[in-house]
Amino acid sequence: LVFSSAERPAQLDLATLWRRSNTVASALADRGVGRGDVVAVQLPNWAEAAIAYVATASLGAVVVPIVHTYGPADTDWILERVEPRAYVLPERVAGMDYAGRLGAMPATRSIESVIVVGERAPEGTDTWCDLEGSGTAQVALEADLGDAPFLVTFTSGTTSEPKGVVHSHDSFLAELRSMPSPPASPVPIRTMQPWPAGHIGGMTAILGPIVHGFDTFLLDRWDTDAVLELIRSERIEATSGVPTALFRLMDAVEETDIELPLRELTSGGAGIPPLLIERAERLGWHIGRCYGSSEHPSATLSVRSASREHRWYTDGSPMAGTEVRILDDLGRDLPPGDEGEIALIGPEQFLGYTDPDLNRAAFTDDGWFLTGDVGVLDPDGFLTVTDRKKDIIIRAGENISSVEVESILQRHASVVEAVAVASPDPAYGERVCAFVVLRPGAKLDLADVRSHFAAAGVQKQKAPEVLRIVEESDLPRTPSGKVRKRELRDRLIADAEADAGPPPRGRGPT
């Protein structure tokens, strides 16, 4: 494991990871942490995050990763719900004083052990060096942990309040084992991963080498020039990323005409335009479109050997051991080609939510997970995700897929990224609004958009009627790069209310 953090660069081989994790596990045990207790870890891609995860797991305790960019309110919200016995956080990252904001988080007052990774720790807390230095005894591994809780990760809340997702040791190990990797190679495989340690993708990247043995370089942020140089100098063969980041990487490669050793990429979590895959294949790369969630991390994947139609236009076929069904609103199976809710079952499936009230609606009576996503299975068993139930735009009673709108927009030569959401409308209920990031120097207006949709041969009602040209930085994102559509909808609702103004004086609602 190579941590490329500017603040705490480090390398860990597996022997060192195990030795240091055992020491930290001993120190945590001395502080009362044991089987079933919660350890919250809020760190960037630092070596201490990997050590904390392995140490916690070896005690049979439960890891709660928290994305390091979360502010005090979001962090306190999570801590209040999981009631950790220990909380590991950085002293400072990129100028942000994490230790200094402890007083602003009431939930931390009841945590028995607060451990700060840095030079100094506030009164009543320990530094990481104090923790690791106090561990001495060998800790016996807890036995029979298979179906015991290992991890509680909180969903990113793009459409609703975050939910606590509980994974067992077995389900998370199944995810690690399913990680796609390049074909056999005469030299050790080298991968690069951009996901933060507090995200389930980051945990998978950090712990995956324990199962597969390949070298992994972990980024603390995505800088295209730095990523390009890292891939070139370290002979990186595999990576992953959101479509926007991969587009930027391809632009840089084509501008510099540099030849990279990359062979295998994966991308998911956002609409993936076929153009991305087409450009990658021209460079000799394969992009595996994948579908999953915090609840079932890797459900489907498109592989290099699939047909072009399946590689470019579907989200792949089920991973080993995973089954996919498409259900109607009454929970009945639909035939191939019909659109309905995606239901999953498999070894990576989570145990349930921390809020038991959510579980009743999340599972069928026979244990299938109802994803809330809408999709289609073709006769060959390949899945295409067409929307989220909550992302469907209802215009004058007609359902419009936001994913379809985004896919059409992203075929326009001027468009880098497109996000479609519902804009409130007094006449139609909702209209399609598109937030669009353009290529440098490009222009786009609603007339251009209407012409583009007409050329695509779709109903004119699907064409956006509201267009917002934005910078990439204007789009609110989750740590994994997904756009927070709920925040965009909230902006549109606030704008509509402001435009409407207050009701006339002397008149009540009608």
Q: pLDDT digit string (tens) for 139-195?
A: 777 778 899 999 999 986 544 578 999 999 999 999 999 875 544 444 558 999 999
Question: What is the pLDDT at residue 478?
Answer: 79
Question: 467 near 453, Cβ under 8 Å?
Answer: no
Question: 330 near 314, Cβ under 8 Å?
Answer: no
Instruction: Using the predicted structure, report yes or no on whether residue 271 has a pLDDT greater than 70.
Output: no
Question: What is the pLDDT at residue 184?
Answer: 45
Question: What is the pLDDT at residue 88?
Answer: 98
- Helix, strand or coil, per DSSP, at residue 143: coil
Render 387-408 in DSSP notation, one character per residue.
EEGGG-EEETTEEE-HHHHHHH
Instruction: Using the predicted structure, report yes or no on whether residue 137 has a pLDDT greater than 80.
Output: no
Instruction: Using the predicted structure, report yes or no on whether residue 270 has a pLDDT greater than 70.
Output: no
% of the chain surpassing 70 pLDDT: 94
Instruction: Using the predicted structure, report yes or no on whether residue 398 has a pLDDT greater than 80.
Output: no
Q: Which residues, 6+ apart, have CB-to-CB distance to 185 below 8 Å?
A: 237
Phi, psi (rounded to 5 degrees) for 345: -150, 140
Q: Where does CATH 3.40.50.980 sit in the chain?
A: 2-143
**Long-range interactions of 185-188: CB distance < 8 A, separation 24+:** 185/237, 188/213, 188/214, 188/215
Model confidence, pTM: 0.81
Looking at residues 3-14, what average pLDDT do you find?
91
Render 422-444 in DSSP notation, one character per residue.
EEEETTTEEEEEEEEEEPTT---
Residue range 419-477, pLDDT digits in tens: 999 998 877 778 999 999 999 999 999 999 999 998 987 778 889 999 999 999 999 98
Looking at residues 27-36, what average pLDDT do you find?
95
Instruction: Using the predicted structure, report yes or no on whether residue 314 has a pLDDT greater than 80.
Output: yes
Residue range 406-420, pLDDT digits in tens: 989 999 999 999 999
CA-CA-CA-CA torsion for 387, 461, 160, 473, nearest 10 degrees?
90
Looking at residues 17-33, what average pLDDT do you find?
95
**Sequence-ordered alpha helix ranges (H) in 188-242:** 200-212, 224-234
Render 283-306 in DSSP notation, one character per residue.
TT-EEEEEE--SSSS--EE--TTS
Looking at residues 192-221, what average pLDDT do you find?
91
For domain 392-500, give the CATH number. 3.30.300.30
Supply the DSSP symbol for 115. Answer: E
The neighbour count for residue 413, using CB atoms within 10 Å, is 9
What is the enclosing helix (H) or strand (E) of 139? none
Question: What is the pLDDT at residue 493?
Answer: 87
Question: What is the pLDDT at residue 323?
Answer: 98
Instruction: Using the predicted structure, report yes or no on whether residue 371 has a pLDDT greater than 70.
Output: yes
For domain 2-143, give the CATH number. 3.40.50.980
Looking at residues 477-484, what average pLDDT do you find?
81
Q: Which two tokens stand for residue 46?
A: 């630092």
Looking at residues 232-252, what average pLDDT do you find?
90
Supply the DSSP symbol for 477. Answer: B
Instruction: Name the pLDDT band for 481 (thresholds 50, 70, 90).
Output: confident
Distances (CA, A) of 126 to 47, 129, 469: 18, 8, 48
Q: Where does CATH 3.30.300.30 sit in the chain?
A: 392-500
Distances (CA, A) of 454 to 68, 259, 401, 410: 44, 39, 17, 15
Supply the DSSP symbol for 472. Answer: G
